[in-house]
Chains A and B, each alone.
Chain A
């Protein structure tokens, strides 16, 4: 309750104390503009990071639960080897279900590469078996050995070979998003520190007079800290709103668009945008406070 009161007092401020320190025009514009621009970028970095996270989770979840057995055999042995492989799979611990893909399903898989009119019935294609794992999963090496012994033409692919780099790429993209947010926060802090230092330097005579008549450092610093915090809050709120509008203008997620059209925010993630101005204000508060106290320490 007292923390809330402190925040409220800080926001309301002391009108007389505000009048004592005159505003310096260019630092107002610099702080508001840089906060708005940085907040706009943070919105996109946040959207990128969250979209990458969703993608990584989806790939990881969906692919981790499925595997494929490919049977390459002469046409006359194909049915027997398929049946043998299905028998092996049905008796393997950790396999929830296994079924041979139909000709139509195999045609659909190849259509993106060879077109829909592919005469599959005239081509020596391998038979694909879709394997769905149970929650515990199966022992891939053990299953490979059994298949090698009982179905010579069967090859198990549990997707790990190509799933890992995809998930890793999505994870890296997510990390890059968070790293961007961190860098933007640091750059915002640096810019606000520069603006605060400029304002402090422009008001060094005011500070000297305030010290002369008995003002404490905290009183002097507060006048600057409050001003820069509120400017950063206002600027970043504008930048966040513009960023949110820009996200809304992106095409909505679709199968055809793939990853790029899924860049927007989903559901409760929109609420995270409320944190952007608050965090910008916090960065401004800390950087101005540090700059003010450093300057004040150098004055008598």
Chain B
């Protein structure tokens, strides 16, 4: 895959500057600063409820920090309009644990959804889609309905949907949470392959085995949310 404009310019894709975030229940984290450089690979770990999902949501503008600044592709999310955020999300592929498909649409339609909503459907989309489906090993399931897919198939399909717009950044929230070890290794290898193609990857997971397995194949930074702070981990993994 060719390098994106962001990568060519070497810009910071997503930047956290002394960020804090609170819910009505209390503060999740504070004073978090981080830069996601093009082509980097990050794991985000921490106990359940530590704020991993919130952290990812801040990355794609689904949440606004209660203090500090989050800049997505150079723009402060607080200053971005809803349309700006929608357009920025086309450069960020998000894979959720629960996949979030539209059950009344076929897998093909679900995967093409990012192109449909952005009005970018083209005649060669079908060829691109088949190539992508082949890459995630779902060619034979292209006309299936989402409820007919297994957990592993859904996760790979979610990854394919996240990639259809050729995003600069891929954020995966517990992508292996609902699949067995073999499937989690397969998903991980797909994400590592994407990183080698130049994509920026951030995976939120509490699965330390996954992180250990990845470290043999990719240079990844491991971040841990602990005590309401973001810390660099790794030596103990």
Contacts and interface: CB of A to CB of B under 8 A. Distances in A.
- Point out which of B82, B83, B117 has the most chain A C-beta atoms below 10 A from its C-beta: B117
Contacts of A212: 62, 89, 94, 100
Interface in A184-239: 205-206, 208-219
A254 interface: no
Given A209-B100, A210-B117, A215 B105 contact: no
B121 A20 contact: no
B165 interface: yes
A210 B62 contact: no
B164 to A, nearest CB: 9
A214 B89 contact: yes
A182 B193 CA distance: 63
B118 interface: yes
Interface string B159-185: 001000100000000000000000000
B87 interface: yes
A19 B110 CA distance: 11
Contacts of A13: none
B63 A16 contact: no
Contacts of B90: 213-214
A274 interface: no
B232 interface: no
Nearest to B118: A214
A219 B117 contact: yes
B62 A20 contact: no
Contact of B102 (A206, A214, A218): A206
A17 interface: yes
B113 A211 contact: no
Interface residues of B, number: 26
A300 interface: yes
Contacts of B121: 16
A22 interface: yes
A215 B109 contact: no
A16 B53 CA distance: 31
Nearest to B96: A212
Given A208-B100, A300-B57, A300-B62, A213 B114 contact: yes
Contact of A209 (B62, B87, B101): B101
Contacts of A296: 82
Interface string A141-155: 000000000000000
A20 B121 CA distance: 14
Given A16-B116, A19-B109, A20-B113, A216 B83 contact: yes
A214 B165 CA distance: 10
A213 B89 contact: yes
A20 B82 contact: no
B6 to A, nearest CB: 16
Nearest to B120: A214
A212 B61 CA distance: 10
A213 to B, nearest CB: 4
A245 B57 CA distance: 58
B4 to A, nearest CB: 16
- Point out which of A206, A208, A215 has the most chain B C-beta atoms below 10 A from its C-beta: A215
B218 interface: no
A206 B116 CA distance: 14
B97 to A, nearest CB: 13
A257 to B, nearest CB: 57
A290 to B, nearest CB: 16
A5 to B, nearest CB: 17
Contacts of B105: 19-20
Contacts of B165: 214
Given A20-B102, A213-B114, 7 more contacts: A20-B116, A22-B104, A209-B102, A213-B113, A214-B87, A214-B117, A215-B117
Interface of B: 57, 61-63, 82-83, 86-87, 89-90, 94, 100-102, 104-105, 109, 113-114, 116-119, 121, 161, 165
11 contacts: A19-B105, A22-B104, A210-B113, A211-B89, A212-B62, A212-B94, A215-B86, A216-B82, A216-B86, A217-B86, A300-B63
Query: Which 6 A-B pairs rank lowest in CB-CB distance, beginning with the nearest?
Result: A215-B117, A214-B90, A213-B114, A214-B89, A300-B62, A216-B86
